[in-house]
Structure 1
Amino acid sequence: MRLPQVLPGSSAEVWEWQVHGNCRGVDSSVFFSPDGERGRARAKRERRAKELCRTCPVIAQCRAHALSVNEPFGVWGGLSESERFYLLTHQTPHATAG
């Protein structure tokens, strides 16, 4: 049996980017809607979340993660659920990368 040349990294390395996000320490209700939220309340909450994302140092990693796992809820990488759904269903695979 041949031994691997390099062992895989820890799973913590896969998620390490999250500790650098602007969202760290922010209440999750900014990014995830409560049941029944619609209209102006939803738009206001999403605007606030996207403002935090806009200057985030890991926005590209966050967006790529959400798109790669088809994240169904919340604002990730500056994109809402509906924006991610649109990208995943209407764009080429190249357009969804970073």
Structure 2
Amino acid sequence: MADVHRLPIPVSENWDWQRLGACRGANSAVFFHPDSERGSARQAREANAKRICHSCPVRVECLKHALQVQEPYGIWGGMGENERRAVISASRRRIKSAVS
């Protein structure tokens, strides 16, 4: 589950970008995998979701949100779960190196 403590305060301007998402109204199953999905079925679904994200006018805002709150599941801003984890881990390593 996402850590909601990192979410911005609930002001409509902070969330307005969501209204403009290319995914708005789409079946959420395109962006979130069922537990049993593996292999080529998962790759095909993720590729389809990323195609939708690629043309999205708020892709940057979506990805920024997902990285900020560390969304654990789904495709957000054109990035999958493992891709976001890698970015977050790399960011933590850079911070740790800078502090050391």
What is the TM-score of this pair, normalised by structure 1?
A: 0.81
Distance 1:81 1:67 in 2: 10
Runs of at least 5 residues in structure 1 that lack an aligned partner in the other structure: 1-8, 94-98
Measured after TM superposition, the shift of residue 43 of structure 1 is 0.2
Q: Distance in 1 between matches of 2:64 and 2:79?
A: 11
Map 1:17-96 to 2 at 5 A: 17-91=17-91, 92=94
- State the one-letter code of the partner of 1:17: W
Q: Give 1 or 2: higher helix fraction.
A: 2
Separation of aligned partners in 2, 1:90 and 1:16 = 29
Q: 1:87, CA displacement in angstroms?
A: 0.6
Report % sequence identity.
Answer: 48
CA distance in 2, matches of 1:17, 1:29: 21
In structure 2, distance between residues paired with 1:19 and 1:65: 14
Instruction: Please say which structure displays the higher CA radius of gyration.
Output: 1
2:5 aligns with: none
Q: Secondary structure at the match of 2:15?
A: helix
- CA distance 1:34–1:10, shift in 2 (3 Å): closer
For residue 11 of structure 1, report the CA deviation from its aligned partner.
2.1
